[in-house]
Structure 1
Amino acid sequence: MRCPFCHSEDTQVKDSRPTEDGTAIRRRRQCHNCGARFTTFERVQLRELVVIKKSGKKEPFDREKLAQSILIACRKRDIDPDRIERFVSSVQRQLEALGETEVEAGQIGALVMQGLEQLDPVAYVRFASVYKDFREAKDFETFVGQLSKSVKA
């Protein structure tokens, strides 16, 4: 593993342990060149996923991009980071379980919306504002109004 600080390939694993949900191995490493310590994660990948964007463009599935979009929606919310990590892993597993190598971006967004609705209502609305491409305040009002109606029903 290459050191993220000095780019030396001479690093050593100091500690390995499974993550809380058991879907990955967390490894603490130390660089012999600069002495820096860093953490890596090793995960099972069932298949290489390709995302088909709205424009038709295809790109490899990027777990970090998914995690970052969820973290942005959850910013400044009182949600345990481990819970967010488990949610990201859950979405990835659901995508892999579809049995397809290509998945539409809309499918990913729908899975995230479904999970965020259960995880945190504010994060759900934040993510929806990007996913559903809200253009003006009225779009928020309409969405939150529909959300309120479904909660009362």
Structure 2
Amino acid sequence: MNPDLDLTLERIIRAPRAVVWQAWTDPARFAQWWLPAPTVCRVDRLETRPGGALVTHMSDDGVEFVPHVNASFLVVDELERIVFTNAIDSAWRPAQPEPVGMTAEITLADHPDGTDYRVLVRHGDPASRARHEKLGFIDGWGTVTKQLAGLAENQAAR
């Protein structure tokens, strides 16, 4: 972790890793938490494998959707780690994503209370990191992580 280039978030999710993993790999579950509510997420492609696509659209009214993320998975270690980047789009073409280019690494580890969930978002330069932070990294990623936790914890309680 480079504090000049990276942003992080950590949370204990009170659900088994397998349940959290499902929320990342099942398109129907992913759509329920990936964007801060009340924004609606539509998952067009969720191919959680190295080289697979991550393509989502978003809508404020549930009718008209606009592009949200067009990215590629780089690493997928089942139940342990997911790495994706928006610097390469879903067709493996170099991209110049707006508002900021990034590579995100999600790690899952066992914890006595469930899953130790960690997010590390890498940026290419300090200005990109600062821009992402100013745009609300903590609020945005924090909100969706809270939604992910709620979904996983509810599922685990059943």
Shorter-normalised TM range: under 0.3
Larger radius of gyration: 1
TM-score by length of 2: 0.24
Which has more helix, going by share of residues?
1
Which has more strand, going by share of residues?
2
Instruction: Between the two structures, name the one with larger relative contact order (CA 8 Å, sep ≥ 6).
Output: 2
